[in-house]
Amino acid sequence: MGRETLFKKMIAFITSIHQVKHELTKDAKPGSITQGQYNILELITVNQPISPSEISDCLNLSKSNTSRELSKLSEKNLIYKGNDVKDQRKQFIHLSIEGECLMNEAFELIKSRFSHRLKHLSKADLDEIEQAMQTLNEKLLK
């Protein structure tokens, strides 16, 4: 397969991932936070500790918008900021206990929807999907 064909398949794959993510996460966000705040919490959940700069880069937010949203999340006691042990100037963001509870509830709904999508697959299918995801992570995404 040529690089151009691979590129087109990758774009189609990414689009499909976005569509599936939307289906899985629809209405998973609690009403007490905005969609943008949910996106930040989701990123922190899977990457903590994470710096504000990494959040800005990953979610394509300005540093000022990221800072404002992090302040709001901190006011809601969903996150806390900690300093790097080696460099006290660097901050890292973590979920608080309340933030972990909120995201655990959201992820339980997502997990239920994901399980529903998998219910017709055999053990061999699941193993093949797991291997494909591992290969993508090792060779392309990291």
Q: What is the mean pLDDT of the chain?
A: 94
**Domain ranges within the chain, ordered by starting residue:** 20-113
Largest Cα–Cα separation, the chain: 51
Write the CB contacts of 90 (distance below 8 Å, at least 6 apart in sequence).
Answer: 51, 83, 84
For residue 6, name the pLDDT band (cuts at 50, 70, 90).
Answer: very high
Residues 25-69: pLDDT tens digits?
Answer: 999 999 899 999 999 999 999 999 999 999 999 999 999 999 999
Structural contact between residues 51 and 92, judged by C-beta atoms closer than 8 angstroms: yes
Which amino acid would we find at residue 13? F
Structural contact between residues 39 and 59, judged by C-beta atoms closer than 8 angstroms: yes
The whole-angstrom separation of Cα 43 and Cα 13 is: 21
Residues 83-98: pLDDT tens digits?
Answer: 878 877 889 999 999 9
Torsion of CA 116, 121, 124, 129, to 10 degrees: -60
Structural contact between residues 77 and 95, judged by C-beta atoms closer than 8 angstroms: no
CATH of 20-113, one of 3.30.300.30, 3.60.9.10, 1.20.1440.80, 1.10.10.10: 1.10.10.10
Count of residues in the chain: 142
CA nearest neighbour of 92 among 53, 46, 135, 132: 53
